[in-house]
Structure 1
Amino acid sequence: MPLPRITHHGAVAGVTDSCHELHLPNGQSLLIDCGSFQGQDAEADGGLQVGVDRVAALVVTHVHIDHVGRIPALLAAGFRGPILCSEPSAKLLPLILEDAFRLAISRETHPVARYLRRLAAQIVAVPYGHWHSLPGSDGVRLRLQRAGHVLGSAYVECDVPAAGGDPHRVVFSGDLGPGDSPLLLGPHPPERADVLVLESTYGDRNHGGREHRQQRLEAVIDLALQDHGTLLIPAFTLGRTQDLLHDLGHILERKALAGQGGDADSPVAWPQLPVILDSPLASRITQAYQELSHYWNEAAQKGNQLQFPQLITVNSHEQHQTVVNYLASTLRPAIVIAGNGMCSSGRIVNYLKKMLRQPRHNLLFTGYQAKGTPGAVLKAAEGAEGFVAVELDGERYDVNARVHSVAGYSAHADQRGLVAFATGMGVAPRQVLLVHGDGAAKAALAERLGDALGSEVLIP
């Protein structure tokens, strides 16, 4: 019996632009994610190549921009069907897409309000673990399960009717989490799958040292701020920022319990150290995280570490400019978390322009930087002594600031986690399709899964 056909409209040549179309027996289709291109992948962006008339529904696995960034184009092309997502994602998606609309299309009140009304009319919140029947699709149903990647993330189980037999089950992993998030419950493998569409971001490696990341973060802060500079942390507004705030809150609490700021020989006056969150969107998402704390894991719910007295939020552009100029011209140590995570745009760029040339400032990366982004260039400068420069908004900036990285913050499952997810079902899938990864990651994971499953493992 032939398996359902899937067309991949993205995430086959890299780790962004996730968009997969599941073709249904009645001629309709189900779209899983509709993400935008980032980094070098943006060069391959040929626009949205989806026949909107046949799309019965869009399913959003989570609200990172590389999974939802082309939704405005889908709406502009005439899509009027439901946008199905988890209950937390239903709250977060309008925040993400409103910000994207204001940046790319219009900041005017009426167009923004009209756009948000349109989104509200099409978003359908689907509880985790509940089957949802797709109206008018002759028996197609889907279920969302926790993926543990970011708040609201889900993998998708789709049952597609098959002639003369049981329905085919097609599982789209979305982005899977590592299973040991400080805030979220980890993913459990699906019951079964005939076809598994599996991400492969870290298909060729395993994460290390997650259990000691707070200590390493604390050590980097001590080192970075001993010369009275600013520690800049570029971070994505959803997921990474909240993980960092969680860890910083615990570090500050531990320092306070140790005696008004920690060791006497510490170069940092921790009780006076400001932690500046310079991202209006990250602030709004952090507030939403707190309102959705009942979706956190049990340990995280016992203490709210996303807010602490030293946390300062910067919202207006005028405040932002004032903070940038103040920190660049004074000897006041500070930690700044700002977007975007790959230093390609956003407020972090203004800090970099002012501070990269000064050796007393420091830059900390806590995750992957896509090829072709300024973040990738800057991260590669870690440990380099001079002769390093990066281009920002068309101008070359020498990098004299020190660059650091702390491992353990990846929100993706590693090779072990991906293999465990694929092999954790009662019966091995007939077919595995590897997406959302570079060539080396896919090839390594394909080899591991081929040995472990004995299934057909394909790289589209």
Structure 2
Amino acid sequence: MKSPKIRFLGAAGTVTGSRFLLETGAARVLIDCGLFQGEKSIRQRNWEPFLVPPREIDAVVLTHAHIDHTGYLPALCRDGFSGPIHCTPATADLTEMLLEDSARISQEDARYANRKGFSRHHPALPLYTVEDAKEAAEQLRTAAFNRWFRVAPGFEVRYRHAGHIIGSAMVEARVSADGGDPVRVLFSGDIGRYDAPLVPDPTEPEDCDVLVIESTYGDRSHPESRIEEQLEEILRKGIPRGATILFAAFAVGRSQQLVYLLDKVMDEIGMTVPIHLDSPMAANATKIYRRYPEESGLENVDMRSGSSPVFGKNVYLHRSADESRRLNDLTGPRVIIASSGMMTGGRILHHLKRCLPDENNLVVLGGYQAAGTRGRRLQNGEKTIRIHGQEIENRAETAQLTGLSAHADANELLRWVKDLPAPKQTFIVHGEDDAREVFAKRLQNERGHHCILPEHGSTHELQKL
């Protein structure tokens, strides 16, 4: 009897590009289908042929909507995948929006590169189009949390709350090969933090034979200082000197938490300035948060515009490109929140070009910055940042808002698995090599796990306890 197998098509040795293929003789199921982000050598994988013919995949199961977990779906569907894409209801709403936005950015970047002539490709082409994204969204199928359902012959899955963003799930899978007893596989997805605003705590994991666990912050701990204290320090520093305080934040999850917390802190310290949420996607995502109050902890909150903690009292939503450009004519002090969170594309780039040369301004990094991204370069203190083919002088002050990360740190990941009996196999993924090596040692020494650090493209047989 053959054992089920897992192939690591992404997020092995890098944080992004979540793609895990479960295989039996009867079916193939892909867990997540994300984009690679960061260094050019990693991003180029997005343009390479998928490691498995898309038409040979029976189903896709998503953990959550972030682009590094969903962003390759339009290309996968365009190239032959015709099966269902399973996810939670909130993830479906967010994914549809995120994929269209990703396609739009890809098309706009290609047009801009062709107009300015800085691409090495002639002509520069998008990875996929808005039409590709819309067609992929038609294949989305939803299921509720905490209920087992069949996705392919020999495959059953169940969603449990991961506490990362709204709709985010860890995926439990029962995989049977040749009619044998199922192997229980748990995919952590991205595990969120405990007591974080607007998301539930991660659900405790149940017994499994195989654990596939993230390690984004596997080698570090978040600071113990409260996020409100960090925001107060940033506001007290930037507002008196008339700064434009530019927050780089993911449009889904981080932006909503930032608005909620900034509005709260401004009230507490009596320093109120406009908060500009410069992202049509973030504005639309905020509406989705309001659609699922039971997941965002807003069941008992007055959701009328102007009083909702998701919008805030001093928040201005900017949807159109013209509205975004007009922000460049405004002086500080004010707060601008724009994506992408790692500064790989989107409106944040135009704000950076204006803000970086001015030493009065503050650029705030709101979470993990992958190697090779502009966010990592700013984090490293580089004096020039390349944007749209130009070298932009960096004189602005950079601040790190680590407490707002939507990822559990090493201690929180260990807390999440503290009552989980050691599985037969524990695969460490979603981390740079240093982080996952450190986390693997802790998991082995403190929890008795047999840890495996899979390589990109590698295949492993799944084993039962």
- Corresponding residue SS for 1:174: coil
Q: Verify the 8 A CA contact 1:249 1:306 in the aligned structure 2.
A: no
Asked if 1:180 corresponds to 2:181, the answer is: no
Asked if 1:450 corresponds to 2:444, the answer is: yes
1:405 aligned residue: 400
Q: Structure 1 residues 431-440 or 415-424, which shifts more? A: 415-424
Q: Verify the 8 A CA contact 1:423 1:452 in the aligned structure 2.
A: no
Asked if 1:227 corresponds to 2:246, the answer is: no
For residues 233 and 439 of structure 1, do their structure 2 counterparts lie closer, same or farther at Cα, with a shift above 3 Å needed? same
**CA–CA distance in structure 2, aligned partners of residues 205 and 2 of structure 1:** 39
Asked if 1:308 corresponds to 2:312, the answer is: yes
**CA–CA distance in structure 2, aligned partners of residues 106 and 235 of structure 1:** 20
Name the amino acid aligned to 1:315. Answer: R
For residues 292 and 353 of structure 1, do their structure 2 counterparts lie closer, same or farther at Cα, with a shift above 3 Å needed? same
2:416 aligned residue: 421
For residues 15-414 of structure 1, what are the structure 2 equivalents within 5 Å? 15-26=15-26, 28-40=27-39, 41-45=42-46, 46-105=48-107, 115=132, 118-135=135-152, 137=153, 139-162=154-177, 166-209=181-224, 212-255=226-269, 262=270, 270-271=271-272, 273-297=273-297, 304-324=308-328, 326-327=329-330, 330=331, 332-381=332-381, 388-414=383-409
- Tell me the alpha carbon deviations over residues 170-204 of structure 1, each in whole angstroms, 9 at most, x when there is no partner: 11111111122111111123221111111111111
**CA–CA distance in structure 1, aligned partners of residues 207 and 391 of structure 2:** 52
Q: Verify the 8 A CA contact 1:48 1:70 in the aligned structure 2.
A: no
- Tell me the alpha carbon deviations over residues 311-334 of structure 1, each in whole angstroms, 9 at most, x when there is no partner: 01111111211111x12xx4x311
**CA–CA distance in structure 1, aligned partners of residues 79 and 73 of structure 2:** 10
- Tell me the alpha carbon deviations over residues 319-373 of structure 1, each in whole angstroms, 9 at most, x when there is no partner: 211111x12xx4x311110111122321111111122111221111121211111
Name the amino acid aligned to 1:121. Answer: E
**CA–CA distance in structure 1, aligned partners of residues 179 and 138 of structure 2:** 37
Q: How far is the alpha carbon of 1:300 from its aligned partner?
A: 8.1
**CA–CA distance in structure 2, aligned partners of residues 453 and 163 of structure 1:** 33
Name the amino acid aligned to 2:149. Answer: H
Name the amino acid aligned to 2:33. Answer: C
**CA–CA distance in structure 2, aligned partners of residues 430 and 2 of structure 1:** 17
Q: Structure 1 residues 287-296 or 114-123, which shifts more? A: 114-123
Q: How far is the alpha carbon of 1:127 from its aligned partner?
A: 0.2
**CA–CA distance in structure 1, aligned partners of residues 198 and 410 of structure 2:** 21
- Tell me the alpha carbon deviations over residues 74-94 of structure 1, each in whole angstroms, 9 at most, x when there is no partner: 101111111000111011111
Q: Percent identity?
A: 35
- Tell me the alpha carbon deviations over residues 367-422 of structure 1, each in whole angstroms, 9 at most, x when there is no partner: 121111111111222xxxxx822221221222221221222111111112222333
Asked if 1:434 corresponds to 2:428, the answer is: yes
Q: Verify the 8 A CA contact 2:219 2:436 in the aligned structure 1.
A: yes
Question: Relative contact order, CA 8 A, sep 6+: which one is greater?
Answer: 2
Q: Verify the 8 A CA contact 2:164 2:193 in the aligned structure 1.
A: yes
Q: Verify the 8 A CA contact 1:20 1:31 in the aligned structure 2.
A: yes
- Tell me the alpha carbon deviations over residues 33-60 of structure 1, each in whole angstroms, 9 at most, x when there is no partner: 1111111121454342222233111011
Name the amino acid aligned to 1:309. Answer: K
Q: Verify the 8 A CA contact 1:178 1:413 in the aligned structure 2.
A: yes
Q: How far is the alpha carbon of 1:116 from its aligned partner?
A: 6.1
Name the amino acid aligned to 1:122. Answer: Q
Q: Verify the 8 A CA contact 1:294 1:301 in the aligned structure 2.
A: no
For residues 90 and 375 of structure 1, do their structure 2 counterparts lie closer, same or farther at Cα, with a shift above 3 Å needed? same
Name the amino acid aligned to 2:17. Answer: D
Query: What RMSD, in angstroms, separates the aligned Cα atoms of the two structures?
Result: 2.4
Q: Verify the 8 A CA contact 2:23 2:29 in the aligned structure 1.
A: yes
For residues 113 and 7 of structure 1, do their structure 2 counterparts lie closer, same or farther at Cα, with a shift above 3 Å needed? closer
Q: Verify the 8 A CA contact 1:8 1:20 in the aligned structure 2.
A: yes
Q: Verify the 8 A CA contact 1:183 1:300 in the aligned structure 2.
A: no
Q: How far is the alpha carbon of 1:299 from its aligned partner?
A: 8.4
- Tell me the alpha carbon deviations over residues 4-62 of structure 1, each in whole angstroms, 9 at most, x when there is no partner: 21001111121000100001241x11100111111112145434222223311101111
For residues 370 and 455 of structure 1, do their structure 2 counterparts lie closer, same or farther at Cα, with a shift above 3 Å needed? closer
For residues 10 and 117 of structure 1, do their structure 2 counterparts lie closer, same or farther at Cα, with a shift above 3 Å needed? closer
**CA–CA distance in structure 1, aligned partners of residues 261 and 134 of structure 2:** 36
Kindly report structure 1 stretches of 4+ aligned residues shifted beyond 4 Å: 111-117, 162-165, 298-303
Please, what TM-score do these two structures have when normalized by structure 2? 0.87
**CA–CA distance in structure 1, aligned partners of residues 299 and 412 of structure 2:** 21
- Corresponding residue SS for 1:134: strand
**CA–CA distance in structure 1, aligned partners of residues 399 and 340 of structure 2:** 17
**CA–CA distance in structure 1, aligned partners of residues 25 and 218 of structure 2:** 32
For residues 165 and 423 of structure 1, do their structure 2 counterparts lie closer, same or farther at Cα, with a shift above 3 Å needed? farther
**CA–CA distance in structure 1, aligned partners of residues 348 and 137 of structure 2:** 31
Q: Verify the 8 A CA contact 2:263 2:313 in the aligned structure 1.
A: no
Q: How far is the alpha carbon of 1:119 from its aligned partner?
A: 3.6
**CA–CA distance in structure 2, aligned partners of residues 424 and 161 of structure 1:** 26
**CA–CA distance in structure 2, aligned partners of residues 394 and 133 of structure 1:** 48
**CA–CA distance in structure 1, aligned partners of residues 361 and 415 of structure 2:** 41
- Tell me the alpha carbon deviations over residues 114-173 of structure 1, each in whole angstroms, 9 at most, x when there is no partner: 5566345311111000001125x1x42110111011111111111112567531111111
**CA–CA distance in structure 2, aligned partners of residues 357 and 117 of structure 1:** 39
Unmatched 5+ residue regions in structure 2?
110-127, 455-465
Name the amino acid aligned to 1:235. Answer: A
Q: Structure 1 residues 179-188 or 428-437, which shifts more? A: 179-188
**CA–CA distance in structure 2, aligned partners of residues 118 and 321 of structure 1:** 31
Q: Structure 1 residues 296-305 or 31-40, which shifts more? A: 296-305
